[in-house]
Amino acid sequence: MIIFGSPRRYLQGRDAIARLGEEVAKLGKTAVLVADAHVLDLVGAKAQASCKAAGIVLTPITFGGEITHAEVERMAGLCGANPPEVVIAAGGGKTIDAGKFLSGKIKAKLATMPTVASNDSPTSHIIVVYDENHKLTGVEKLAGNPDLVLVDTAVIAKAPAALLSAGIGDAIVKRFEVEQCVGVRGNNVFGGRSPLTALALAHACYDTVRVDAVAALAAVGRGEPDEALERMIEASVLMSGLAFESGGLSVCHAMTRGLSAVPGPASALHGHQVAYGLLVQLALEGRAADFIADIRGFFAQVGLPLSLADLGFTGGAAEIATIAELTAQAAHMKHFERPVSALDLVAAIESVEAAALVKKDAA
* 316 Cβ contact list (under 8 Å, min separation 6): none
Measure the CA angle with vertex 301, ends 309 and 170; round to 5°: 70
Q: Are 36 and 98 in contact (CB under 8 A)?
A: no
Q: Are 232 and 209 in contact (CB under 8 A)?
A: yes
Q: Domains plus CATH for the chain?
A: 10-156 (3.40.50.1970), 161-362 (1.20.1090.10)
Q: What is the pTM of this model?
A: 0.94
The answer to whether residue 363 scores a pLDDT higher than 60 is no
* 132 Cβ contact list (under 8 Å, min separation 6): 66, 68, 70
According to the model, what pLDDT value does residue 279 have?
98
The answer to whether residue 104 scores a pLDDT higher than 90 is yes
Residues facing residue 138 across a β-bridge: 129
Give the end-to-end CA distance of the chain in Å, rounded to a whole number.
51
- % of the chain exceeding 90 in pLDDT: 93
Q: What does the alpha-carbon distance between residue 116 and residue 108 come to, in Å, rounded to a whole number?
A: 24
Q: Are 240 and 170 in contact (CB under 8 A)?
A: yes
According to the model, what pLDDT value does residue 361 have?
57
Mean per-residue pLDDT for 32-38? 97
According to the model, what pLDDT value does residue 131 have?
81
* 9 Cβ contact list (under 8 Å, min separation 6): 23, 147, 148, 149
The pLDDT confidence band at residue 63, using thresholds 50, 70 and 90, is: very high
Torsion angle in degrees (nearest 10) through CA of 176, 178, 184, 185: -170
Residues facing residue 168 across a β-bridge: none
Measure the CA angle with vertex 212, ends 114 and 245; round to 5°: 50
According to the model, what pLDDT value does residue 360 have?
60
Q: What does the alpha-carbon distance between residue 274 and residue 346 come to, in Å, rounded to a whole number?
A: 16
The pLDDT confidence band at residue 114, using thresholds 50, 70 and 90, is: very high
Per the annotation, binding residues are 36, 93-97, 115-118, 120, 124, 130, 170, 253, 270
According to the model, what pLDDT value does residue 139 have?
86
* pLDDT tens string 207-250: 999 999 999 999 999 999 999 999 999 999 999 999 999 999 99
Which run of H or of E encompasses 30?
A: strand 30-35
Mean per-residue pLDDT for 331-358? 96
Q: What does the alpha-carbon distance between residue 246 and residue 126 come to, in Å, rounded to a whole number?
A: 12
Q: Which residue has the higher pLDDT, 293 or 131?
A: 293
According to the model, what pLDDT value does residue 108 have?
98
The answer to whether residue 49 scores a pLDDT higher than 90 is yes
The answer to whether residue 362 scores a pLDDT higher than 80 is no
Per the annotation, binding residues for glycerol are 120, 170, 253, 270
According to the model, what pLDDT value does residue 133 have?
75
User: Which residue in 92, 99, 103 sits closest to 28, CA to CA?
Assistant: 103
Q: What does the alpha-carbon distance between residue 274 and residue 304 come to, in Å, rounded to a whole number?
A: 10
According to the model, what pLDDT value does residue 359 have?
66
Q: Could you give the angle at which helices 251-259 and 270-285 cross, rounded to 10 degrees?
A: 120
At 116, give phi and psi (nearest 5°).
Answer: -140, 160
Burial category of 334 from C-beta neighbours within 10 Å (exposed 0-12, middle 13-18, buried 19 and up): middle
* pLDDT tens string 179-201: 999 999 999 999 999 999 999 99
Residues facing residue 100 across a β-bridge: none
According to the model, what pLDDT value does residue 215 have?
98
Count of other CB atoms within 10 angstroms of residue 147: 21
Compute CA distances 360 → 268, 281, 300, whole Å.
21, 22, 12
Per the annotation, binding residues for NAD(+) are 36, 93-97, 115-118, 124, 130
Q: Tell me the one-letter amino acid at 210.
A: R
According to the model, what pLDDT value does residue 203 have?
98
According to the model, what pLDDT value does residue 195 have?
97
At 53, give phi and psi (nearest 5°).
Answer: -65, -25
Tally of residues, the chain = 363
- % of the chain exceeding 70 in pLDDT: 98
Mean per-residue pLDDT for 141-150? 96
At 91, give phi and psi (nearest 5°).
Answer: 135, -145
According to the model, what pLDDT value does residue 166 have?
98
